[in-house]
Every structure is written in structure tokens, then in C-alpha cells.
Chain A
């Protein structure tokens, strides 16, 4: 069967309950916003294929339940994730404070080389804002990751955020592949060495 894409990236949305993970995903996958909310139970994913530099990239985006109680189940899905969106709600201080816990969670459960990005969602609710944009930026700098304020409802930056994350993963992937295929055939052992450096990279090329 012919492949309809060049890469498949597994992404993950995590963050406190009610920050809008499902809405962000719905905005990105269906370009829609549903005002009849429903909490996520368990785990689900959506697929969307995007195109970057003439490469078709299939994004498989996993949505998880936010409540701490379910982490034993949700963390099972961290494995194999290549990118993680950490989401907080700019109108909820607590959800921002908890980002550091989520980062810790990632460190314990996801691959060390996973690409991360911080999203401050619900930015259309400026009058209810509890977390300034600067604080979001500062935290992102602290962790060395990218940051955007988004609004699933007003469709602000959602597309951009996913494209940025996907593009960073793609760059990383291709950098590896390039190193893998130098102009003149190099040391064979070295090649194998590089190819298996990333747990997911090898899987990626098999898809």
C-alpha cells in the first residue's frame, strides 16, 4: 500500500483539567469549536496530515485526561511521543503553576529527546487573565522550549503552534538523517550508531 505521508509524528497534549486540550485538538483537527464541552475520560487521538517543505507529515495527536488521578494510565502513552504540547489556561494561575509538575512527569515518562512546547490557552479572555504573557515566556526560556499564547475559541495560534512543533521535530529528524547519509559512504558501524540514536527516529523511517 502506498504511503500517503513522509513522516508520522506522535504528539501529546498534556496539562491540567479544563485548560482546553480537547478544544485545541478539535480546533486543529476539525477547525471548529464546540461550546458544549465534555471532559475527556481516558485517552483519544486525532489525526491530521500537514505539509511542510513539500513533505507530508501525518500528525497523530493524543489527548489525555488532565486529572492527576489518571496519570498512571495517561503516562503509558508518553512513550514514543516525539512532541509534547504543555497547555495551561491563562485565566487559571494554578494550571500555570502545575506546568512544572507536568514537565517533571514528562522527564520521568517520555523519551529524553522529546520536543516540547508551552501553550497559554484561552488568550481571548484577556479580562480574566491571571498569568501574564511575560511569565509564560519566562518559564519557556527557563526550560528552553518554545511558547505561544493560543485561543482555541478565537482560533488564534493553534495552527501555528502545531506547525512549529511539527517543523522542529522534522528539522531534528532530518538533521539525524543527514548525519546518517553523508555524501560519501562512511564508516559502517558509525552509521548504525547514528541511526539508532533516537528511539523513535528508527521507527519513524519504518512507517
Chain B
């Protein structure tokens, strides 16, 4: 599999880096801390939950967690956890063995370099009798080898991430109280710096290396540190003035909330940080959660709210800002219209077959969809297969060229030999996944129903050809859902393919390897909800549900699984017009949630119930009403004068003039024409050659089909 290959390669590099850094710090016996360290902060009653294999025997044991400074052989900061024998469970060895099973396995995956990198080898510390054993039980990690701290479960669990690969180095559970004091103490001493909050309840801090600790202290003395150290991650609410002021702070000490608006709404990992001078910050990559989706989640940790004065100061600012923003104009009533019909369509066609007023057509489609008989034709325009300005002759030519291109690509996979396939795992995996999914796509639709339905072969063929067209993306689950309705309308496989390509160009990022596109959308959706429906947003924040994960299926396949087939067609054609704004599909989510607000709040739904409720909305969503609500919400946002720039960016409104220091979000890349540029530049000779190729490809393709 492509990803796994990448992953392994990546691992090797990381191992290399690890070895290098070891050499760099001369991780030898002489480097093991000696003498008595100076304890900078400590907390008792802390269970070791996860650690290197060496510490299996200590898992779930209580002890004290400390930050210790050793001066011998040189000044170093260590994170230390030491079991506390007085509260050890007397005889639990039987049990321990049973529970340690898993860890014995995980132990295998660890490399020796990893073990030694953290000085956790008992042998290195001491090997004489009892003293040695006791010392071996101490879990110690050089703070410089750790990248980040993650606090979760209402502050009861704290995790430390390795710098080498951002994996979990160790995890602790605070039995008594929570990790707040410990974290606060580390923060105040500038060992760590708040990076971002993650999914509901969890918070993350970047561990500063020695150099930065000094820098931070210096800045703290200059009194800017107060703001930075507090760092409620309410980035986007920061009034421009404050943002501008902070913008003058050198990049390498800039708090994470003052990030460029472009990276702010979604980005899970802020790699931009890693390229900053001398690689000061390591932002952790948290698998499965959107750090991103968390700009203002102060409520979610309500129980452990120890706020510094600067925290509350920021909150006041936020409150003011919120007041302005939530002052949206009243919701107007919006009405849907009639679908684009054949008479109208004819009126827009010029004598040579061009479409005269595409903007007006899109408006009609946005408001009412398209009559079924016109769909096959008009979709080709909406999906950028045909150009509005094409004459009929040009259209025929385009179609011919595109057929040629399609069959060429189709012949590529059809002619793949068994041996080739056997040696091409990336291809095999994609093919295998397509075969699995074609069998279970829209089988209740008459077009795909029944055993040996030939349309399934078409579906498969188009998806396979798409693999050859875009091998990097290949095939990802959900794509067959997007293609099926298109094929059903187009019927012709070439037309369906190019329409599908157009659709994929709009939603490409949904299927990204790292799911970055989905994460961005969760973050954007969250922001839209925050502004458009504050009560629900606040409720979700306080119930750990503001990560928006429950909208995953909605966004991945554009509500395909939520609506009946006819409604899917209608919704998609509306959304393809990209009217009234980009990301209208997100406003559709906001509208659905808007309609469910009372149910969610009144019934006191938690995350699981919200997910269940949302999943069960399938088949109950009133398309017309929801589209009206979505448009009404759009008009409200558009009409709001104090709308923050990040929201303006999401809904494609002109941005307010930036205050000094504020970074303007980059404009969205223009909608690509996807390789149609070459049209009209062919010499007669090339045309003739193309025709020949087309015929040849068609023949080959037909022949192969019957093989």
C-alpha cells in the first residue's frame, strides 16, 4: 500500500535522525545524570499509564512525577517518574502479568535506539543489587527529547510526546486532583508553551528547548509574556488591535493563537512552525483529533479552570468580541424556485450553440435545480466538462478528444498483465477496494440493482480509469458514492468519467491521505456554527462535542447518505453552481444542526447521542426547508458588518482591511479548467492523428472488454 510504504520510509529517516541526535548529545554513560537533582515541580499520586517496554512492571503503579534539574555532568532537565513503594499494591503480580500481556507485544515494536535515546535502560543507570533495581524503576526522560505535552480527561491524564516521531513517550494518570498545578508550574517556569487545544477537553503544550526557555524568560520579563503564557486559544476572536500588537513579536516567540488566518481554521499540524528559526517549536500531531477545530473551547475544561489573571482578561476581550459578532441581522425568509426547464435552457443558447448567460442559469439552478430531462446536458457544464462558451462544434470536438483520452487511460489498466499486477501492490490495493465497493454502491437504485447488472461494470471501469488518471489519490471509499448518481444520469461512461473528474476536483481534499481537507472543513464548520448558532455551539463545547466529527459522513460524500436519490441530485446541482458562496455545503450542515438545536439541547445529548441522532437523521431531512435555512443563514452572515475575516474568507466575502501585522488569508486557487486549454490549438495533422488514435483505442478497449 502506498501509505504504508511511505510510512516505513519515514520511519527509517526518523531512526536516522534519532541516531544522529544521539551522537550529537553523546548519549553515553557519562551523560547519565549524576548526583542529586533539583526538583523544580512535583506531584504525588500519579499512575504510570503508558511507557517504554522497560517499565511494564510499573504500569498502573502510583508514584510521583517531577521535573528535575541535574547539574552533573551538565545542566539538564529531566522528566522523572518514581514509583512510591508505600502505596504499592501488596501482591498483584498475578494480575499484573495478565494485564501486561499487551505491553509485551508492544514492547517488540520498540527499537533499541528509542530505548537508549531516553536513557531508560536500567543497565546504564546501575547494575548492583537492590539499589540498581530501585533506580531502574525510575522512568526518566530528557526534556529536550520530548516535543509536547497533552492534557486530557479533564486534566486527569497527561501525555508526553517524543520529539523523534511525535509518538506517545509516556502517559500518566493523576489520581488525586488533576495535572493542572503541574502543568501550570511548568508553564510558569517556561518549560512549555500552550500550543492548541484539541478535541473537547484536551489541551496541548509544546515543550520548549533550553534555548527557548531562556528566550521566553526574557520576554516574560519584558511583560509580553503574560499574554503569551496565558494563551486561551481564542485566536480568531482576538480583536485586530491586539492581533496587530502581537504581530510585532518575533515569529519564534509568537503564541500559537496568533497564527495566520489561513492556517488557523483547520490545519491539524502547523508545519509552518517547524520551519521557523532554529526549529523552536514542535507542534504535536494528534491522530484522530482536530486540534484545529478548537479555537475557543474554554468551557470544556470547566471543572479544572484555574485561570490566571491574563486568562480572564482575554476572556473579557472575547466576550466583547462575541457581542459584536453575534449581533447578526434577523433571519430573512427565503424561498426556493422552479427548476431550470427546457424552454429556458433553449433561450440561453445562441445560434452556434454557446450558452449566453451562465451566471443567470446558475442562479436559476441554485434556486430550483434542473428538470430531470436536462440534467445529463447541464451537468456537463456545471462539472466543468463542457465550457459555457463552447460552440456546438467545439463541444463535439472536445467530447471526441476527451473520449480518446478516456479510452487511452482505460486501456492502460485493461492491459495490465497478471505479472504486472502481482508486482504492483499500490494498483492491486486500489483495484481490490473498488471491487469491494462497487458491489455495495446504490444497489437499491434500479440503475444498479440486481445480480450481474452491467452498470456495475461501468461503475468499476470508471473508477479504475480514475485510478490511472490520478494514481496518487487512487480510490478512496466514498468516491463510488459520488460517481453512482453521475453515471446514472450520464449513462455514457466517458461523459460520466469527465463529470466525475469535475466533481472530484471540487471535493478532492475530502479524500486526502492525511484527511487534512476534512479537518479543515470541521474547523470551518465549527466556526460557522459558533457565529451562526451560539447557543448550540456553546452547548456542544460544554459537552465535548465541538469537534464536529459527527458531520463526517455529511461532508465526505455531500449528504449522499442522508437524502433520497432525487434529493441528492437536486442538492448536488445546487452546490455545483457554487452559489451563493463557496462552502455553501458547510452552511447546509449548519442549517441541519440549526433545525436540531432544540432536540440536542433539550434532551441533553452528549457526544455519543449527538452522533447517533445525526446518523439517524438519514431520510428525514427536508431538502427544501434546509436549503432555505442555509441560504437565510448565509444572508445573515453576509449582512453582518462586524463579521470576522476568517468567516468572510469561508463564505467568500471581501475581507476587511487588515490591521498591521495581520496576515491576509490567501485567495482560494482559481477553479482549474483541468486540461481543456489545449483545445483549438491542434493542427489538421494532429487532429487526424488524434482521430486515428481514438479509433485504435476504442477498438482495443472493446476487444479487451470481451477478452
Closest to B60 in A: A197
How many angstroms from the CA of A179 to the CA of B90 in the assembled complex? Answer: 11
Number of interface residues of A (CB under 8 A): 50
1/0 contact string of A32-59 vs chain B (CB within 8 Å): 0000111101111100000000000000
With beta carbons under 8 angstroms apart, the residue of A67, A78, A107 that contacts B102 is A107
Number of interface residues of B (CB under 8 A): 61
Closest to A67 in B: B477
Does B23 belong to the interface (CB within 8 Å)?
no
Does B37 belong to the interface (CB within 8 Å)?
no
Is B477 a contact of A65 with CB atoms below 8 Å? yes
Does B111 belong to the interface (CB within 8 Å)?
no
Closest to B59 in A: A112
Is A196 a contact of B101 with CB atoms below 8 Å? no
Does B432 belong to the interface (CB within 8 Å)?
yes
1/0 contact string of B530-565 vs chain A (CB within 8 Å): 000000000000000000010011001100010000
For chain A, residues 139 to 172, give those with C-beta under 8 angstroms from any C-beta of chain B.
143-144
Does A31 belong to the interface (CB within 8 Å)?
no
How many angstroms from the CA of A124 to the CA of B443 in the assembled complex? Answer: 23
Closest to B511 in A: A69
Is A194 a contact of B89 with CB atoms below 8 Å? yes
Closest to B615 in A: A44
How many angstroms from the CA of A67 to the CA of B89 in the assembled complex? Answer: 43
How many angstroms from the CA of A175 to the CA of B94 in the assembled complex? Answer: 12
How many angstroms from the CA of A36 to the CA of B450 in the assembled complex? Answer: 10
How many angstroms from the CA of A26 to the CA of B263 in the assembled complex? Answer: 41
Nearest CB of B to A116, in Å? 8
How many angstroms from the CA of A44 to the CA of B561 in the assembled complex? Answer: 13
Does A5 belong to the interface (CB within 8 Å)?
no
Nearest CB of B to A155, in Å? 20
Is A73 a contact of B440 with CB atoms below 8 Å? no
Nearest CB of A to B102, in Å? 5
Is B481 a contact of A76 with CB atoms below 8 Å? no
B277: A residues at CB distance < 8 A: none
How many angstroms from the CA of A65 to the CA of B157 in the assembled complex? Answer: 28
Knowing A41-B553, A43-B611, A72-B288, the reply to whether A193 touches B175 (Cβ < 8 A) is yes
How many angstroms from the CA of A61 to the CA of B175 in the assembled complex? Answer: 29
B611: A residues at CB distance < 8 A: 43-45
Does A94 belong to the interface (CB within 8 Å)?
yes
Is A37 a contact of B440 with CB atoms below 8 Å? yes
Is B105 a contact of A143 with CB atoms below 8 Å? yes
Nearest CB of A to B106, in Å? 4
For chain A, residues 75 to 130, give those with C-beta under 8 angstroms from any C-beta of chain B.
75-78, 94, 101, 103-104, 107-109, 112-114, 116
**CB<8 Å pairs between A and B, sample of 20:** A38-B443, A39-B441, A43-B552, A43-B611, A45-B608, A66-B477, A68-B4, A69-B511, A71-B287, A78-B288, A101-B4, A109-B287, A112-B99, A113-B99, A116-B102, A175-B95, A192-B175, A197-B60, A199-B153, A199-B173
19 more A-B contacts (CB under 8 A) besides A18-B437, A72-B515, A74-B288? Answer: A17-B433, A38-B443, A39-B437, A42-B549, A43-B549, A43-B552, A45-B612, A69-B476, A69-B477, A70-B477, A71-B288, A73-B552, A77-B288, A78-B288, A108-B168, A108-B287, A112-B103, A179-B95, A190-B87
Chain A positions near chain B (C-beta within 8 angstroms) = 17-18, 36-39, 41-45, 60, 65-78, 94, 101, 103-104, 107-109, 112-114, 116, 143-144, 175, 179, 189-190, 192-194, 196-199
Chain B positions near chain A (C-beta within 8 angstroms) = 1, 3-4, 47, 49-50, 59-60, 62, 87, 89-90, 92, 95, 99, 101-103, 105-106, 109, 153, 157, 167-168, 173, 175-176, 199, 287-289, 432-433, 436-437, 439-441, 443-444, 476-478, 480-481, 511, 513-515, 518, 549, 552-553, 556-557, 561, 608, 611-612, 615
